[in-house]
Amino acid sequence: MKKSILIAVFFVLCQAASMISMPLTAKADIINGGFESGLTGWTVLGGIITTPSSYSSDYLPGSLSPFEGQHFLSAKSGGLMEGFAIVQQTVQLNVGDVISGVGAYDIGGMAVGSISVIYDATQTVIWSPSPQGGFEFNTSWTNWSWTAPETRDFTLSFYAGAMSSPFGASWATILVDGISVTSAPVPEPTSMLLLGLGLIGLAGMRRKLWK
C-alpha cells in the first residue's frame, strides 16, 4: 500500500512539473472579429470586399442584418460570370481553443463558398454553403465553430468563387460576423502540487500508524 501511494505521488508531481514547463501562447483572439473597424486585421486577396450594415441580394429576394454590432463582412466574387474573393487572418491558438462565428451566403449558378482553416498547406473546411437547386440567398445566420488540434498559428480563410456557366449567370457572396476565440481551460500546476503534497501527507500518516 505504501509503495502504491508513493508511486501515485511521484506521478502527480511529474504531471505538475510537465504543466509548469508546458509552452502555452498568450490568450489568443481574433482582431476585429465583428468588422466594426472595417477590414482592420484582415488580409484581402481578391474580390469585392465590404463591411455593410445590411445586405440585399442583387438577384434573389430578402435581406440580412448584422448578427451583432453594426457591421459584418461581405466577400463577393469579382464578377457576374466569374471571379473569386478571399479574406484571411492568421491567429495563434492553443490546443483546445475554439474559434467560432456565424455565416450566411448569396450563391447562384456554378459558384462555391467556404469558411476554412489553413495550416501546413492543409485546408480544413469548417462550413460550406449548399444551395438548393444551385440558387439561394440564405437570409439567416448559421453558427460554425472549429477546435484547434494543437498549439500553433492557423489562418482563418473566407472564400467565394464563381465560374462561367453556359446556363446563365453565376455569383457568390460569403457573409460573416461575430468571430471570436474561446480559450481552452488550462489545469493549474499549483493545484496539482497541492494534491501531491496532500498524498505525501497521507503517506506519512499511514507510516506513523503502522509503527
In this predicted model, what pLDDT tens digit does every residue of 54-106 receive, in sequence order?
A: 999 887 788 999 999 999 999 998 655 558 999 999 999 999 999 999 999 99
- pLDDT value, residue 208: 52
Query: Mean of the pLDDT values across residues 117-126?
Result: 92
How many C-beta atoms lie closer than 10 Å to residue 46's C-beta?
16
Contact 12, 199 (CB under 8 A): yes
State how far Cα 211 lies from the chain centre.
Answer: 58
Please name the residues in contact with 28: beta carbons below 8 A apart, sequence gap of 6 or more.
Answer: 91, 92, 93, 94, 97, 181, 183
Residue with cell 465583428: 34
Pairwise pLDDT comparison (21 vs 37), residue with the higher score: 37
CA 187/CA 189 separation, integer angstroms: 6
In this predicted model, what pLDDT tens digit does every residue of 148-204 receive, in sequence order?
A: 999 999 999 999 988 766 666 678 899 999 999 998 876 555 455 445 545 555 555
Contact 157, 88 (CB under 8 A): yes
pTM of this prediction? 0.75
CA 159/CA 10 separation, integer angstroms: 51
Query: Mean of the pLDDT values across residues 128-144?
Result: 80
- pLDDT value, residue 44: 97
Q: Which of 26-40, 44-58, 155-169 has the lowest mean pLDDT?
A: 155-169
Contact 93, 182 (CB under 8 A): no
Q: Tell which residue, 159, 167, 152, has the closest CA to residue 81.
A: 167
Provide the strand spans (E) within the chain: 43-46, 48-50, 55-56, 63-64, 73-76, 83-93, 98-108, 111-119, 122-127, 135-137, 142-147, 152-162, 171-182
Query: Mean of the pLDDT values across residues 43-60?
Result: 92
